[in-house]
Structure 1
């Protein structure tokens, strides 16, 4: 059994360097004692491999240890430590009053009954010098994983002891100061801003704790250890659960804010989509109206064009159109004569055309009938035709004095009439 337990401790407790590093937390408590008392004694109950004995000796204490396991004591003997294979309570009972400065029990109380724990605390109170310290470290059942599983990995463990119970036992024994130190929690969880998961709540609570109790009676030592007692140590289940709740609530608020923002964006998108649909529908309506208007205009234009061509075809098919074809040609030429520099030649052509019409009875009668409707055109044509019959040597027509009051245009018409009358009389005579 001796070799089994020492092998088990070597596997699960950790290396000497690891354990020595963890024990550094107690130095602010014990250093004032060794500074005040020369050859101060530090007694370690269940000393095991002697990590605390090494550290206490390096601080100036006369370190002594007791343990029942020979396998564990072998490591202490190899290092030349002052250790005994002996029952811890028997050792305490054998010591005189106020003879020891520090009594320590690292992972010891969970191996004995609670009645023995109380007796140990009482005996420590007796043997400690005024201002002396009792240190009891044990697994922390506030850690759910420790209480439900890891505690029972050691077959020599009896029952876990809750921190308030062990602390009260020290207070009940009339120690002046009692402090609970929660230890060995993950470094990552010490940051108050670190996110806490449910798994952290279950296994992140400090897996070990200790009760440090100080005997009264020495004000100097009480003042020297006061800063160490005023500090807070480790993580409680309540603290981690509260942080987990706060982080969960904060996360929930972020999710709710994100959902509200998403709802606002969705609503805005729906409104914009509705506006876009309305605008698209209005644009389609306007496009349809414009298309219908263009189609109506096109139909009206097509109808007007069709009517125009119908009317034009009817005019061109009429007898009057065919009969007035020469006159239209004459009119076109006459208009051109007003602008053409070869006016005299055109007049000569018109004269020949007019005389040709007069010699054709089938043309002369309809032409005269039509010219009656256009007296000015008839006068102009008559003037042009008769002008070419006057001999160049013939003297100019003398306008009577009673026509002197007429306008030039009127006198011209009057002269045309005179010439026509003279020509008619000549032809009849």
Structure 2
């Protein structure tokens, strides 16, 4: 796992300013994603535990959005460059460098985890370990919202590796990914799948799941 993570870290460290500028609008042009994140925030507040982690937070724009929607949000990212940018841009919020499979969070501490296109670079065989970590930090009844590049399964049941603009990534058949969430101890209960907002061609997929 360490080798591909080192490559991912280095790739994102090289594009911090460009990446941050591209997402400065915080989903103003992505209404479906914005709606799912808003629903996630509302449901997390409803658990009575507003603590939430934005894993793979990048420049911190979504961490700030969660905070604006009433959550006690912290951001975690593999890239030290992204963490440094997030701290400068949002000095009132907490950001830490961390691997997604080893979050510096106690067991059952969180009401919610947001993973917005942050698992896409993980090779399929390593994804269960990341999902197990999300389950570990979630309190019973806590929510995970994961967004990823999806397919409808018509091209086969397996994930597809492709050349992402930053570093190689994977798209997943939505049903297959939901099955991984269930295997990890989560109950998927809502999904939104829509045509892509870019020319990449994959579907944009968002799945909400609850820790059992």
Does TM, scored on the shorter chain, surpass 0.5?
Answer: yes
Partner of 2:181: 170
Query: Following the alignment from structure 1 to structure 2, what is the Cα–Cα distance between the partners of residues 33 and 152?
Result: 34
Q: 1:106 to 1:98 in 2, by over 3 A?
A: same
Correspondence list, 1:227-306, <5 A: none
Deviations 1:358-415 (A, max 9, x none): xxxxxxxxxxxxxxxxxxxxxxxxxxxxxxxxxxxxxxxxxxxxxxxxxxxxxxxxxx
Query: Following the alignment from structure 1 to structure 2, what is the Cα–Cα distance between the partners of residues 55 and 41?
Result: 14
Considering fraction of residues, name the structure with more strand: 2
Partner of 1:33: 44
- Asked whether 1:130 is paired with 2:140, we answer yes
Partner of 2:96: 84
Q: 1:64 to 1:21 in 2, by over 3 A?
A: farther
Unmatched segments (≥5 aa) in structure 2: 1-9, 155-160
The structure, 1 or 2, with the larger RCO (C-alpha pairs under 8 Å, 6+ apart) is: 2
What SS does structure 1 have at the residue aligned with 2:101? helix
- Asked whether 1:215 is paired with 2:176, we answer no
Q: 1:153 to 1:159 in 2, by over 3 A?
A: closer
**Structure 1 residue 125: deviation in Å?**
1.9
What SS does structure 2 have at the residue aligned with 1:214? strand
**Structure 1 residue 140: deviation in Å?**
2.4
**Structure 1 residue 122: deviation in Å?**
1.8
Tell me, yes or no, if the aligned pair for 1:143 and 1:207 is still in contact at 8 Å.
Answer: no
**Structure 1 residue 87: deviation in Å?**
1.3
TM value normalised by structure 1: 0.40
- Asked whether 1:15 is paired with 2:26, we answer no
**Structure 1 residue 36: deviation in Å?**
4.3
Q: How many residues align?
A: 191
Partner of 1:101: 111
Query: Following the alignment from structure 1 to structure 2, what is the Cα–Cα distance between the partners of residues 62 and 5?
Result: 28
Unmatched segments (≥5 aa) in structure 1: 145-149, 187-202, 217-429
Query: Following the alignment from structure 2 to structure 1, what is the Cα–Cα distance between the partners of residues 200 and 76?
Result: 33
TM value normalised by structure 2: 0.75
What SS does structure 2 have at the residue aligned with 1:111? coil
Tell me, yes or no, if the aligned pair for 1:20 and 1:51 is still in contact at 8 Å.
Answer: no
Tell me, yes or no, if the aligned pair for 1:143 and 1:204 is still in contact at 8 Å.
Answer: no
> Which residue of the other structure, out of 91, 114, 123, is the alignment partner of 1:113?
123
